[in-house]
Amino acid sequence: MDITAGTAARVREAIEAGGESINSVSEKSGIPYATLWRKVNARGPFTVTELGHVSEALKVRVVDLLPVEPVDKASA
């Protein structure tokens, strides 16, 4: 799994689940709109600091913004 795309998808889901928009999260987090839009659309990776700001804006844990991929125990 691509970590950038997976994180972007989780952030997008959290924004929608919170009834927010990229614009409102941009304002609350202090991340410029263009930067947040680019990263939510997987056009660049989020930094840990950015994920922290987004998690605070959405009132979720940072770990909830990270992709979850099942582990194939046969190959582990």
Range of the domain at 59: 3-65
In whole angstroms, give the CA distance from residue 38 to residue 74: 36
What is the C-alpha to C-alpha distance for residues 69 and 8, in angstroms, rounded to an integer?
A: 14
Residue 75 has pLDDT above 90, yes or no: no
Asked, for residue 16, whether it belongs to a domain, the answer is yes
- pLDDT (0 to 100) of residue 5: 93
CA-CA distance, 35 to 44, in Å (whole number)? 9
Asked if the structure places residue 75 within a domain, the reply is no
pLDDT in tens, 19-49: 999 999 999 999 999 999 999 999 999 999 9
Residue 31 lies in a domain: yes
Nearest to 4 by CA among 60, 54, 65, 63: 65
Q: Is residue 71 part of a domain?
A: no
The pLDDT > 90 percentage for the chain reads: 86
- Number of structural domains found in the chain: 1
